[in-house]
Amino acid sequence: MNTKQLKLADLAKLAGVSTSTVSRALNDNPLIKKETRDKLKLLAKQHNFSLNTAASRLRSQKTNVVAVIINFDSGTEQSINDPFLLKVVGEINLALNKQGLELLLSNSFMAGDDWANYFINSRRADGIIVVGQGKDPANIEAAANAGVPLVVWGDPKTPSNYPIVGSDNFVGGRLATEHLLAGGAKNIVFLGDPGHAEIGERYRGYLAALNTANAIAHVVSIDITSSAAYHGINQLLVAKGLCFDGIMACSDMVALGAMKALKERYISIPNDVALVGFDDIAMADVSHPSLSSIKQNTQRASVLLVEKLLAQLQGQSAESQVVEIELINRQSSKG
Amino acid sequence: MNTKQLKLADLAKLAGVSTSTVSRALNDNPLIKKETRDKLKLLAKQHNFSLNTAASRLRSQKTNVVAVIINFDSGTEQSINDPFLLKVVGEINLALNKQGLELLLSNSFMAGDDWANYFINSRRADGIIVVGQGKDPANIEAAANAGVPLVVWGDPKTPSNYPIVGSDNFVGGRLATEHLLAGGAKNIVFLGDPGHAEIGERYRGYLAALNTANAIAHVVSIDITSSAAYHGINQLLVAKGLCFDGIMACSDMVALGAMKALKERYISIPNDVALVGFDDIAMADVSHPSLSSIKQNTQRASVLLVEKLLAQLQGQSAESQVVEIELINRQSSKG
DNA sequence: GAACTTTATGCAAACGTTTGCAATTATTTT
DNA sequence: AAAATAATTGCAAACGTTTGCATAAAGTTC
């Protein structure tokens, strides 16, 4: 910062060429002779030159920025502390970077309700990735209807006019439940709130599995937090005793909360109660007993999200897509 | 997107005033009569108008964007999956938003080595928040020396010409160790890599506590991951048997990995081995036994980071600052 | 070697704001 | 009521790129 900031024109003067040439060279435009391009790039590097993105964005009407909105339900404690959502953000960051895109991190608070306006009209970003459907799709739909390039991490089976990428939650729920049934469980509790899109699908998968086995459903509807799970299971035990021998939890954090409640009462896992979670977060492997879980392929999903956003940016359309899901069998269930 | 994008000039024409007036009104400039300001703001809202940030940034030479760099050590597996770092990012996001600033999420991969150039010269952001000191401060120092407004989450005691905000790691290490000693532990293992700045301070706190108690230090140096901890403790047990009765872990994830190794061998916690972690992540409370930990006040730290960055943006200087730290006593240690 | 094509570069006009200064109008002072 | 001051608004010049079009140089064809 000691010397005055160099601009394109200065660099052009130094090289004895026009600004057009420098601009094109730095953007690797084949109109410019390869040799010249390399020379100018080198010069830029030597002089520590960097294009002014503000000017560039203004002129080119492109930002190369993608807004990522963590769309947690207000009124729920999920949010910022949910390791799974944050992991997804991290993966998206990597996927975007690989495409030379930058990530503007945002949340419903900052962006307000009119996302099209806040992000796109204002040229803050070229497109939007929404992490989590939330309970109310109004904001997403409004943005999509306004023609904003937009993709969503969520339940791909939700009917929508925007692409949703996510796991096959129905199959996930079914797999988990079938696994518990196969281990001999007869009374399996579903722990989670079926009102939430993704969790709803998991719930339906759970019901489907129970149905073919002629078992009876039992839902404990709670917030998607470990402490809610802990208290939920505790209350159930107090009220009705050990009336179940399996738990299908809607997330690993929830499963771990339940696990804690069980362990405190010396209920054996998996002998008295078998347990399967969802997400396969790092902790699933670390807990004791380790937690069986449905693994979501967040890395692949992130790549897909970015691909589909890119397609929209190029004027093509993109469809919702399901990513494969996998049961990771660990100690908390009888495999 | 059906109709052509409105610009400031259009809005001005609609209102029958000049663009200067509209610009000033929307920026709440007191030069403009309050009444006019309100009228124009309303008009803008009605027409779904949004300032073009690219143009605005170009002209005003300000972005209102802060780059946040997750500065994980390459070669380590910490990174993206570390729930603590991500939690800090989440808190910073909130703190920035409260000041009307936006968050550009980045990592060492995208930003390269010359942060001043990549973020500031290019007008991508006005300042930088670095999360984590990493092992090599070269990039940070280069940026700070270039005059970039910059703050760092890390060990505030590290000598530096840029402000570092972080917990009092020395006191944290000492508190944790003293707590273990008070519980009757005689042979306390330090689990973590003292070569890392923050962990080094924790280690010195550990040594200080041992010293006054005339106990002997024993370091198991590992990567800051739960699986490294798991294997580290396993190997130690295989090689030397149960030669310790306390573990001071450099993070909760590490502590939980160690806990798993202990539980697998039916070593009682806290009776045979007492355990204290660091960070107080959500899992600490959920694990069984729940994990005693040193709680870092990430929320307060984030607010401070943003304040200090803001100060620098306004040309003032800012000092490193320590945030208070607290022992959370749970079941994994004898309290 | 003239006419044509291809390749490489330059000219100059945008892109949509903000802001110093000038100009106008309203208010106060003498 | 004129003069001086304060409160509002407008004019027009930036901010630093990118890009359509024109031009110049080099290569090709007959």
CA pair distance B64, A232, nearest whole angstrom: 44
Q: Predicted confidence band at A13 (pLDDT cuts at 50, 70, 90)?
A: very high
Phi and psi of A18, rounded to 5°? -85, 165
- Smallest Cα distance from A233 to chain B, Å: 13
Mean pLDDT of chain A: 93
Average pLDDT over residues B172-193: 97
Average pLDDT over residues A160-166: 96
A30 Cβ contact list (under 8 Å, min separation 6): none
CA pair distance B38, B314, nearest whole angstrom: 28
Q: Say yes or no: B116 contacts chain A, CB-CB below 8 A.
A: yes
Q: What's the DSSP call for residue A57?
A: H
**Cβ distance of B86 and A87 shorter than 8 Å:** yes
Q: What's the DSSP call for residue A38?
A: H
User: Which of A50, A77, A79 should we substitute to test contact with B (largest number of B Cβ atoms within 10 Å)?
Assistant: A50
State the pLDDT at residue B2.
40
CA pair distance B61, A286, nearest whole angstrom: 49
- Smallest Cα distance from A213 to chain B, Å: 33
The type of residue at A129 is I
Among the listed residues B70, B71, B83, the one whose alpha carbon sits nearest the alpha carbon of residue B225: B83
State the pLDDT at residue B74.
56
Q: Predicted confidence band at A48 (pLDDT cuts at 50, 70, 90)?
A: very high
Residue with token string 């608070």: A109
CA pair distance A223, A229, nearest whole angstrom: 8
State the pLDDT at residue A74.
56
Does residue B101 carry a pLDDT above 80? yes
**What residues does each domain of chain A span?**
8-51, 65-167+298-325, 169-296
**CATH homologous superfamily of A169-296:** Response regulator (3.40.50.2300)
**Cβ distance of B110 and A118 shorter than 8 Å:** no
- Smallest Cα distance from B189 to chain A, Å: 20
Enumerate the residues of chain A whose CB falls inside 8 A of the CB of residue B264.
288
Q: What's the DSSP call for residue A79?
A: G
Q: What is the pLDDT of residues B207-264, one digit of tens each?
A: 999 999 999 999 999 999 999 999 999 999 999 999 999 999 999 999 999 999 999 9
Q: Predicted confidence band at A197 (pLDDT cuts at 50, 70, 90)?
A: confident
Q: Say yes or no: A29 contacts chain B, CB-CB below 8 A.
A: no
CA pair distance B56, B62, nearest whole angstrom: 8
Does residue B135 carry a pLDDT above 80? no
Mean pLDDT of chain B: 93
Q: Minimal Cα distance from B116: which residue of A?
A: A1
Collapse the DSSP code of B71 into the 3-class scheme (helix H, G, I; strand E, B; otherwise coil) and give the result: coil
CATH annotation of B65-167+298-324: 3.40.50.2300
Q: What is the pLDDT of residues A250-301, one digit of tens each?
A: 999 999 999 999 999 999 999 999 999 999 998 999 998 999 999 999 999 9
Average pLDDT over residues B7-31: 95
Answer for the pair A130, A111: CB distance below 8 angstroms, yes or no. no
CA pair distance B51, A245, nearest whole angstrom: 59
Does residue A307 carry a pLDDT above 80? yes
Number of helices and strands (H, E) in chain A?
A: 14, 12
CB nearest to B81's CB, from A50, A87, A147: A87
State the pLDDT at residue A17.
94
B197 CB-side CA count, 13 A: 24
**Cβ distance of B110 and A97 shorter than 8 Å:** yes
Which chain D positions come under 7 Å from a protein C-beta? 7-12, 14-20
**Higher-pLDDT residue of A75, A124:** A124
Which nucleotide shows the minimum CA-to-C1' distance to residue A10?
A: D16
State the pLDDT at residue B111.
83
State the pLDDT at residue B41.
95
In angstroms, the CA of A55 and the C1' of C18 are apart by 14
Residue B42 CB neighbour total at 10 angstroms? 10
Which chain C positions come under 7 Å from a protein C-beta? 7-12, 14-20
Enumerate the residues of chain A whose CB falls inside 8 A of the CB of residue B104.
65, 102-105
Query: What kind of architecture, by CATH, is found in domain A65-167+298-325?
Result: 3-Layer(aba) Sandwich (3.40)
Q: Do domains A65-167+298-325 and A169-296 have the same CATH topology?
A: yes
Does residue A234 carry a pLDDT above 80? yes
Q: What is the pTM of this model?
A: 0.91
In angstroms, the CA of B46 and the C1' of D10 are apart by 24
- Smallest Cα distance from B103 to chain A, Å: 5
Q: Which of A10-24, A297-311, B64-78, B218-232 comes out lowest in average pLDDT?
A: B64-78
CA pair distance A198, A177, nearest whole angstrom: 16
Does residue B79 carry a pLDDT above 90? no
State the pLDDT at residue A2.
40
Enumerate the residues of chain B whose CB falls inside 8 A of the CB of residue A260.
286-288, 290
| Nearest residue by alpha-carbon distance to C1' of C10 | A18
Average pLDDT over residues A173-179: 98
State the pLDDT at residue A1.
40
| CA distances from residue A57 to A111, A182, B58, B64 in whole angstroms, order as listed | 21, 58, 9, 16
Average pLDDT over residues A208-220: 96
Q: Predicted confidence band at B133 (pLDDT cuts at 50, 70, 90)?
A: confident
Q: Minimal Cα distance from B124: which residue of A?
A: A53
Answer for the pair B103, B69: CB distance below 8 angstroms, yes or no. no
User: Which of B45, B52, B105 should we substitute to test contact with A (largest number of A Cβ atoms within 10 Å)?
Assistant: B105
Q: What is the pLDDT of residues A117-135, one digit of tens each?
A: 999 999 999 999 999 887 7
State the pLDDT at residue A73.
64
A50 Cβ contact list (under 8 Å, min separation 6): B117, B118, B121, B122
| CA distances from residue A279 to A214, A253, B89 in whole angstroms, order as listed | 27, 9, 21
Q: In chain A, which among 242-301 make CB contacts under 8 A with chain B?
A: 253, 256-257, 259-260, 263-264, 282-283, 285-288, 290
Q: Predicted confidence band at B204 (pLDDT cuts at 50, 70, 90)?
A: very high
Cα(first)–Cα(last) distance of chain B, in Å?
Answer: 63
Q: Predicted confidence band at B110 (pLDDT cuts at 50, 70, 90)?
A: confident
**Cβ distance of A104 and B102 shorter than 8 Å:** yes
% of residues, chain A, pLDDT over 90:
85
Percentages helix, strand, coil for chain A, rounded to the nearest 5?
45, 15, 40
In angstroms, the CA of B58 and the C1' of C23 are apart by 28
Enumerate the residues of chain A whose CB falls inside 8 A of the CB of residue B260.
286-288, 290
Q: What is the pLDDT of residues B272-297, one digit of tens each?
A: 999 999 999 989 999 989 999 999 99
Average pLDDT over residues A138-147: 94
Average pLDDT over residues A219-223: 95
Average pLDDT over residues B43-66: 96
Cα(first)–Cα(last) distance of chain A, in Å?
Answer: 63
Residue A304 CB neighbour total at 10 angstroms? 21
